[in-house]
Amino acid sequence: MKDGNVFSEYRVRDAISGGDAEAALGLRNLWTIEEGLKLQTGFERVHAISGTGTGEATAVTLGVEYTANQLWKGSTRLEVREGKSSDSILATVAAASKLGRDWTFLGRNTYSLLKNKGQGVDQGAGQNEQNRFQVGLAYRDTDADVWNALARVEHRSENDSTNKEIRLKRSVELISLHANWQPRRPFTFSGRIAAKWTTENSNGIASKNNAQLISG
């Protein structure tokens, strides 16, 4: 296989204290369907050699990448992992679209879900669900390459019930503006303005807060 990769790894966790030792074996492939369209596949198996063995898992991944169009590009990836102590799903999707000579639209979303199986004294049978969505507008001074800027809006949410003592539920809204000015090649001046709003409802206690940031 031209773009195939077989890997074998020996992993040690908490080695100083004599923790778990694991062996991982996997296969990654990149399939070119046509010019600008690629399919990514992967498989991984983790086996415990010593320790508690809670890290044993089997994972399968599938991804698609499209780069044929000169004005827009996109990619998506899905990973499903089944383990001895938990199961998880990780999904990502991203896109970039050129709006003009100097302007580009960017978008990305990442979703993850982890479900515990309730094995172990300290581990509950809850789940941790997280989502992160970002959209942005990028500016690059193509002719002079003096100014570069990025405006971004982001939404984050988290709902975690894996800890029996703490039930976490949080949502965050972010806006930010980043800019670089390079009047001469040895010098670059950068600045950032950002604001954040957080809404939290953990353990039955509701709270809201906000913060602002100016840096240079």
Query: Each residue of 74-107: pLDDT tens digit?
Result: 999 999 999 888 899 999 999 999 999 999 999 9
Give dist(CA 65, CA 51) in Å, integer: 39
Question: Mean pLDDT over residues 167-182, rounded?
Answer: 95
Please, are residues 205 and 170 in contact by the beta-carbon 8 Å criterion? no
Q: Strand ranges (DSSP E) for the chain?
A: 4-12, 21-34, 37-50, 57-66, 72-83, 86-98, 103-116, 127-140, 147-160, 168-184, 187-202, 205-215
Q: Is pLDDT above 70 for 60? A: yes
Cα 106 vs. chain centroid, distance in angstroms? 15
Residue 17 confidence class, pLDDT cut points 50, 70, 90: low
Nearest to 107 by CA among 173, 166, 59, 153: 153
Give dist(CA 70, CA 91) in Å, integer: 25
